[in-house]
Structure 1
């Protein structure tokens, strides 16, 4: 558990390094760092619409991606593979992995830093499309040397669409808060960890 916590903290710090330096030299006089990256309470006006998009994004992250992984990717290459067959004993490390190590670190960088800077530069739609493609391509690149090109392409498409929806739900439905995408991302990663823990499709 301590190893998982240390790894999570280190990864969060690494993912925060570039955003923090950028904020320090460009925006520290106007905004606090946490507000600048969107780590604030979301303000949700249309809750019904919000929860619909929230659930759709989770389903998109969990179902297609895990199906693609099952047919195209060697599960031993996945980060969640460390939990394979460990059952309930891996519960706390899996939560640390899903919520902090991957969920928080990636959302701080991709939706908190990259999305907001790109939207400021190019406008919402172009900026959100660019960040979603970067998000998808990076996830596909991780499997490029070990996975069939069709599998890589499907991973890029699925994670790009999910990345776009997470950017959209943050900026259009949560008043710029990344809490929404952090919850979505965490749920998806915890699900993957639990599937490994109980050997579902692994």
Structure 2
């Protein structure tokens, strides 16, 4: 009975979170684009301001209220950086550089990242990694690890991580191939970030890897 109640509670939290984010992506974003004063800053507002308030706010609230049901309840951010993190960091950077050179036949860096036209860099490359790691690895996986073994918890949180990306796929009207390509990227990354969090018992390594991936994808 306790196991059932626990799963229901976690499922309800995720469902509410998912529906709110769907509303933000589908309705609020469209409204911001229509307003002359915010049209050019819609990405920045959604990814930086709203995501910071909503994702971090919910994460802090849930971590505090469910502290007794967490695998790791203290020192989510610490100085433990295992060798695995450094290996993955080198692999991430190398893979993205080689892929960019292969696809573009040169290494081209997007200019003027912080101009009005490139305001999305902060939200996509920095805030997304921090907020997403905090709530998915810091809360959801943290809570799953309290009840399940690593493999089970990692797979579930990676699927939840993929699920929260679906609203933006709806808004972006992605083709079936676009859905597949994104899923084949997001799901493995979710598994890797979960693995790193589990091995390090520290949110910094997965957050840094996440931000590096997003930043290089944006810049290159």
Assess same fold via TM > 0.5: yes
1:13 is aligned to 2:53:
yes
Matches within 5 A, 1:32-181: 35=75, 38=76, 40-45=77-82, 47=83, 49-57=84-92, 87-90=112-115, 93=119, 96-98=122-124, 100-144=126-170, 146-172=173-199, 174=200, 176-181=201-206
State the aligned residue count. Answer: 168
The alignment's C-alpha RMSD in Å is 3.8
Distance in 1, matches of 2:98 and 2:163, equals: 19
> Which runs of no fewer than 5 residues in structure 1 stay unpaired?
68-84, 196-202
Distance in 2, matches of 1:42 and 1:154, equals: 34
Structure 2 contact 72–142 (Cα < 8 Å) conserved: no
Distance in 2, matches of 1:62 and 1:93, equals: 23
Distance in 1, matches of 2:206 and 2:186, equals: 13
SS in 1 for 2:140: helix
**Which protein has greater RCO, CA pairs closer than 8 Å, 6+ apart?**
1
Distance in 1, matches of 2:151 and 2:144, equals: 10
CA separation of 1:127 and 1:59: change in aligned 2, threshold 3 A: farther
Distance in 2, matches of 1:159 and 1:178, equals: 18
TM-score by length of 1: 0.65
Structure 1 contact 119–125 (Cα < 8 Å) conserved: no
1:26 is aligned to 2:66:
yes
TM-score by length of 2: 0.60
> Which runs of no fewer than 5 residues in structure 2 stay unpaired?
1-40, 103-109
The alpha-carbon deviation at position 32 of structure 1 amounts to 10
SS in 2 for 1:121: coil
CA separation of 1:5 and 1:96: change in aligned 2, threshold 3 A: farther
Find the structure with the greater CA-based Rg.
Answer: 2
